[in-house]
Amino acid sequence: MYKSRISGLGHFLPPNVVSNNDLSKLMDTSDKWIQERTGIQNRRWVDPENIISSSQMGFRAALTAIESSGIDKSDIDHILFATISPDHYFPGNGVLVQDLLGLDTIGATDIRNACSGFIYALSVANAYIQTGQYENILVIGSELQSPVLDKSTNGRDLSVIFGDGAGAAIVSRGNNESEIFSTHLHSEGRNALELSMKGPSAIHWIDKQDPTKVSPEIFAPQMNGTVVFKNAVVRFEQVILEALNKNGMTPEDINCLIPHQANLRISQFIQKKLRLRDDQIFNNIQNYGNTTGASIPIALSEAFQNNKIRRGDIVCLAAFGAGFTWGSALLKF
């Protein structure tokens, strides 16, 4: 069985910075209110007058990841695209990136696991490489969320949290210097509607609805914040320890934990529970908000770019999100 490794990273963020003070002009909120609850100071939203789609953002992140890996784009054998904000109801974004990259008729798979999407995609890539089916896989997490947010006071609990952006990784056949040790995936569908967006979908189709009877909330994200927080802090710790125990390690062995950037308070809680030093965890939600399936690859790419992680470091990735789904990956970077 072959080993797999992350050979290249890249990310793309829309240039349009939206501060907490900017949001206070749209809804009843304040910088203090947002920072106390989420830790977020700014986020990136695409310019509504010049929309760039999630596939296009993913494509731009992919170009950087390919360059970082040192491979030629023609060496890519498969594409895995994680998103809950695809350009179309169908087809998926993977085939759109295949076309944008001008690649031959390689396969493309789309994954819809929200905040856990990149971990799920990384797990699939790892399995493909280990079995010898492929040698280089492009894994993308990309989200365009700002257009569907309710930017009124009614929707502020969620609209202040989410941002747009994309991250990408090249997963390649490994060597003795870097390796994905293991990945761990879980779900609990009984909590599916605690964090969801019901429409548009086949059972909540827009032109089938009577606007006098259908709540507009169906077409915007909804979250039971208390339930999500209570589950997140438990599942994050469990799945991180699962990865460490599988590989005979402890939290002290981690050079860098990169959690999904859901809420700075969750990350700080997990850091305290695992007794990690500040230099053992990387957070960037302060600058970009929660970019859902893109948050881990963006953070991973930025951490590498800024020398927060280096080749040979033990890195743990962990995510929790809608589904509920959660997962982790432990690797030697």
- Is 115 catalytic? The answer is yes
The DSSP bridge pattern shows strands 107-111 and 78-82 to be: parallel
Query: Do the Cβ atoms of 257 and 282 come closer than 8 Å?
Result: yes
The string of DSSP letters for 57-100 reads HHHHHHHHHHHHHT--GGG--EEEEE-SS-SSSSS-HHHHHHHH
Q: How far apart are CA 134 and CA 311, in angstroms?
A: 23
What tokens were used for 322?
Answer: 């809608």
Backbone angles phi, psi at 42, to 5 degrees: -140, 165
Helix, coil or strand: residue 102: coil
Alpha helix stretches (DSSP H) within the chain: 20-24, 31-38, 54-69, 93-100, 117-130, 156-159, 225-246, 264-274, 285-288, 295-305
Query: Do the Cβ atoms of 76 and 125 come closer than 8 Å?
Result: no
Helix, coil or strand: residue 143: strand
Helix, coil or strand: residue 269: helix
- Is 20 catalytic? The answer is no
CA–CA–CA angle 134, 137, 140 (5° rounding): 155
- Is 21 catalytic? The answer is no
Name the catalytic one among 260, 263, 284, 316: 260
Name the catalytic one among 78, 93, 115, 136: 115
Name the catalytic one among 11, 78, 290, 316: 290
Among all residues, which ones are annotated catalytic?
A: 115, 260, 290
